[in-house]
Structure 1
Amino acid sequence: MSNKILITGATGSLGSKVVNLLKEKTKIENIAVLVRDEKNELAKQYANDGIEIKIGDYANLESLESAFKGIDTLYFVSGGDDNERATLHKNVVDTAKKAGIKHVLYTSALWKDQSNSSPLANLVDSHLQTENCIKTSGITYTILKHNLYAEVIEMMIGDKSQLLKTKTIYLPTANGLTSFVPKKDLAEAEVSILLNPSFYSNKILEFNGSEQITFSEIAKKISEIVKEPIQYISPEKIEFEEQMNKFGLPSHIIEILKTFSLAIANGEFDQQSNDLERVLGRKTTSLSEFLQATYE
């Protein structure tokens, strides 16, 4: 039975890991990638590898119709714009149905609070709309609900040089636990599913890291790695906004940091499903190991 796989988001950090793992595990002719710019360096590399390049954009229905021809399984990486996500994703699902795609794997997100008062209300709503759109489309699906990527840690607290200057992690995350998961573990599991999609038909999987950790504990681990004391301060929301404004951070960056920090404080990402361990057949990469590689 044919299984031509199309990877969207193929030039992004998660999509590229999926493509590179697929190259090791299936024939090149079974892989296609969706890119917006064929002149992108990764897109050129894929073409040199013999991977079929399809040019498309979630906002362009005609490009999607062309790209989805002959595809059996779609790895559907969620778009980044919260405000437009649901609309753009509906384009993908509608076109996938029209093209006769047999199976869609969608990268969604994990959360606990689905109310309008949740810090993640916009994110939750767009993902819920997409999940419902997929479920009602009639296409066989696997919904992959991701916890926060471990790579988000560095984005939230800064790289090694920044931390050594401030010697402080300053976020309103309180004592909230998060089951961070490295993208390489997600990619490994999701390639396994892409190669055996029928085993995961119409399943919703919650993908968490095997450990739950606070930013206070992260500060301690990084202190050991950089051999300098890194303190953790969890300010009140207003104080955090005021300090970030003083530092001159753009307002949209402050809003993102505040939103995810408050969600962490609320326990949104303290999730303990072992679906990812079951697919991997092992525990996820330890956070000590991940932080060592990031901050050594």
Structure 2
Amino acid sequence: MTLAVTGATGRLGRRVAERLSASGTPQRLVVRDPERAPSLPGAEVVRAEYADGAAAQRALAGVTTLFMVSGAEEPGRVETHRTFVDAAVAAGVRHVVYTSFFGAAPDATFTLARDHWATEQHIAASGLDATILRDNLYIDFFPLMVGDDGVLRGPAGEGRVAAVTQDDIADAAVAVLREPAEHVNARYDLTGPAALTLREVAATITEVTGRQVSYQDESLNEAYASRAAYGAPAWQVDAWVSTYTAIAAGELDGVTTAVATLTGHPATSLAEHLSALPAG
């Protein structure tokens, strides 16, 4: 096995693993919980966690190309990523394909985009060949962001977001993983076909699904207050709220053709994604 895929028990990694298997590409699935890993032809499953450098090094032995899905959101994520990248280097991995975030920067408004920037920097310093997939916000999450009262609320103002589907990201990742040498040291900003305001997102959900959805532009104080009931830690609430303020700041705006260039098909629109969802 010269290709390893992480995150196969999650939304994105599973999509990538399934597509690789369907194309006949052998792969090693590196997962925290083997019992949750998909059973796929041509795939072997190995247990390892990002934070366990020794186990990760063993799991990656013989691997030359690594698909590294960003780890679970938590305060120590950057250090965990660094441990895993160092283990990849020690195991002899030569090329890492990393799922980063659109507009990743040390001063990004979206707090978690700063983690991605730090991880990108560590990969660059590691000596590994790299391909960086900077994913915009997931279109898939828009319906989940609507409250039970039919309101999509947040301090996004009239900013625009070029959200992209997880299926399109998976298709792009597979295109890279099947011909990794063609994408060495490349960075792709993966977006949908249009940059929408959240007011337009709400209107599209209403039009396509029939569910009445509206958008409420919150102040920062209102945003924090409306999320206080979840009892989440402060860093997580900051991340939630800064998703919207990043949209307001224009940091998730800007449509690219990367999905079409990599996959050979156009990026999926919000309306197309909603139309394809199961009824109910």
Following TM superposition, by how much is the alpha carbon of 1:282 offset from its aligned partner in structure 2, in angstroms?
A: 2.6
The SS at the match of 2:46 is strand
Paired position in structure 2 for 1:139 = 128
CA deviations 1:107-146 (Å, max 9, x no partner) are: 111127642xx4324x233222211211122211111111
Question: What code does the residue aligned with 2:89 have?
Answer: K
Give the alignment's Cα RMSD to 1 decimal: 2.0
| TM-score of the superposed pair, with normalisation by structure 1 | 0.86
Q: Number of residues paired by the alignment? A: 277
The counterpart of 2:8, out of the listed 7, 10, 15, is 10
8 Å contact 1:156–1:257 — kept in the other structure? no
1:68/1:235 Cα in 2 relative to 1: closer, same or farther (>3 Å)? same
2:138 maps to 1:149: yes
| Separation in structure 2 between the aligned mates of residue 293 and residue 150 of structure 1, nearest angstrom | 13
Q: 2:29 maps to which residue?
A: 33
Question: Is 1:287 matched up with 2:276?
Answer: no
CA distance in 1, matches of 2:216, 2:207: 18
What letter corresponds to residue 121 of structure 2 in structure 1?
A: N
1:271 alignment partner, one of 254, 259, 266: 254
Identity between Structure 1 and Structure 2 (%) = 29
Cα displacement (A) at 1:254:
4.4
SS in 2 for 1:151: helix
Helix, strand or coil for the counterpart of 1:97?
A: helix
| Structure with greater Cα Rg | 1
Match of 1:120 in 2: 110
Q: Return the alpha-carbon distance in structure 1 between the equivalents of residues 126 and 71 of structure 2.
A: 19
Amino acid at match of 2:172: A
| Structure 2: unaligned runs, 5 residues or longer | none
1:194 to 1:103, Cα distance in 2 relative to 1, 3 A? same
**Equivalence for 1:203:** 186
CA shift in 2, pair 1:229/1:155, >3 Å = closer
CA contact (8 A) 1:108 1:127 kept: yes
Tell me by how many angstroms 1:90 deviates: 1.2
Q: Distance in 2 between matches of 1:237 and 1:295?
A: 35
1:57 to 34, 49, 54: 49
> How much has 1:295 moved relative to structure 2?
7.9
Task: Say whether the 8 Å CA contact 1:144–1:204 is kept in structure 2.
Answer: yes
1:169 positional shift: 2.1
1:39 partner SS: helix
C-alpha contact 2:136 2:162 (8 A) present in aligned 1: yes
The code of the aligned residue for 2:265 comes to R
